Copies of this chain bind each other. A is one copy, B any other.
Amino acid sequence: MAGYVPGEQPQETGWVKLNTNENPYPPSPRVVSAIRQMAEGRLNVYPDPDATGFRRVAAALHGVEPDWILPANGSDENLTIIMRSFCDAGQQIGYPYPSYVLYESLARIQDVGVHRLLLRPDWTWDQSRAAELRRSVRIFFVPNPNSPTGTSWSTDQLLELLPDDGVLVLDQAYADFSEQSQGAELLRDARFAGRLLMTRTFSKSYSLAGIRFGYCIAHPDLISGMRKVKDSYNCDAVSIAAATAALEDQQWMLANRDRILATRLRLATALPRHGFVVHPSQANFLWTTHASVSHRSIYERLKQQRVLVRYMKFPGAAADGGELDGLRITIGTEPEIERLLEVLPQAVEPRSG
């Protein structure tokens, strides 16, 4: 079995890194000071296994009680815990395809079967296929907004994916960049029958990919099942302090978000001038395809200029059943996007010879 392969992480500086949807802006100064304070603190003792302080702050932000919150070592750990809590070996999960292929890797590790709900060229799905999957899967994972496309689906659309006997996981890694983000009030919506979970991360909107922190919001009955599966001390003291400080500075996060949305608009406007098709995005990245030049060669020519974007391919995802490929470009700072647009003309020139 092949494991999930994360995006390239060059360890030297000098790269324009637009390949892993990181936030180009630094975290809140409050985060920096919280970490510095922890460095002087009692690191020799175990952290609070329940991250009580963090859960209190997150609960207040989302209008729920603290027992609706489960923090984890990154959103990926929450997804792992969800997989292990709600799906046994031999059972099945579903997810829209193309989207975050980690769901599939996690399922394979667990000997769990995988059903893909193929997205059509307009990123919607076939309702009868969805109805069929609802009957058989224990977990339906749906990133909203989706990656790599940036698509946001409505609550009515999501309702089509709630398993008859299982849970729906709304992976909201990019929700802070979306105009139609589903809030925690959805968890009390009777139509979801208490079987909805939302996951959030600090890696994107809060500029904290380096600290690994995420959390799940769900009814306490679901959370308490997950608590039995997680490692007792899954979150470290420094990360807990950093994440708490980040949540407490919403203004900082929202200001960076606004900058990113402005730059997204600029890039979405510029790309078509170079022959790209841009798909509407509600996230901090754009999915784009080119009419005449191979995506792999564009990716490689940009990389030669030390501009990293993500080349992605999805076997079986094209309308004709073949491979769908394209480029996913993270929204960087204005100067970073400037640099991309500078080297782009050369990258899309037809190859000589």
Seen from chain A, the residues whose Cβ lies within 8 Å of a Cβ on chain B are: 1-4, 6-7, 9, 11, 17, 20, 22-27, 31-33, 35-36, 38-49, 52, 73-74, 76-77, 80, 84, 88-89, 102, 109-111, 203, 207-213, 227-229, 231-239, 242
Contact = CB atoms under 8 A, between A and B. Distances in A.
Contacts of A211: 43, 236-238
Contacts of A237: 210-211
A208 B46 CA distance: 8
A109 B84 contact: yes
Contact of A233 (B6, B11, B32, B40): B6
B238 A77 contact: no
- Integer count of this chain's copies in the complex: 2
Contact of A44 (B6, B11, B27, B80): B27
A198 to B, nearest CB: 19
Contact of A52 (B3, B11, B229): B11
6 contacts: A9-B45, A17-B45, A38-B210, A43-B242, A46-B209, A212-B233
Contacts of A102: 232
Going nearest first, the 8 A-B pairs with the smallest beta carbon separation are: A3-B228, A210-B237, A43-B210, A35-B39, A212-B236, A44-B207, A6-B232, A46-B209
A35 B47 CA distance: 16
Nearest to A102: B232
A109 B228 contact: yes
Nearest to A207: B44
Contacts of A203: 46
Contacts of A17: 45
A20 B232 CA distance: 13
A73 to B, nearest CB: 5
B32 A210 contact: no
Nearest to A34: B39
Given A26-B43, A27-B43, A111 B84 contact: no
A38 B208 CA distance: 12
A18 to B, nearest CB: 12
Given A35-B38, A88-B111, A228-B1, A207 B76 contact: no
- A6, A227, A228, A231: residue with the most chain B Cβ atoms closer than 10 Å: A231
B73 A231 contact: yes
A80 B45 contact: no
B4 A209 contact: no
A76 B2 contact: no
A45 to B, nearest CB: 5
B73 A73 contact: yes
Contacts of A212: 47, 73, 233-236
A234 B73 contact: yes
B73 A44 contact: no
Given A109-B228, A211-B236, A212-B236, 20 more contacts: A9-B46, A9-B47, A26-B42, A36-B36, A36-B39, A43-B210, A44-B208, A44-B209, A46-B210, A76-B233, A88-B111, A89-B89, A102-B232, A210-B237, A210-B238, A211-B237, A213-B236, A236-B239, A238-B238, A238-B239
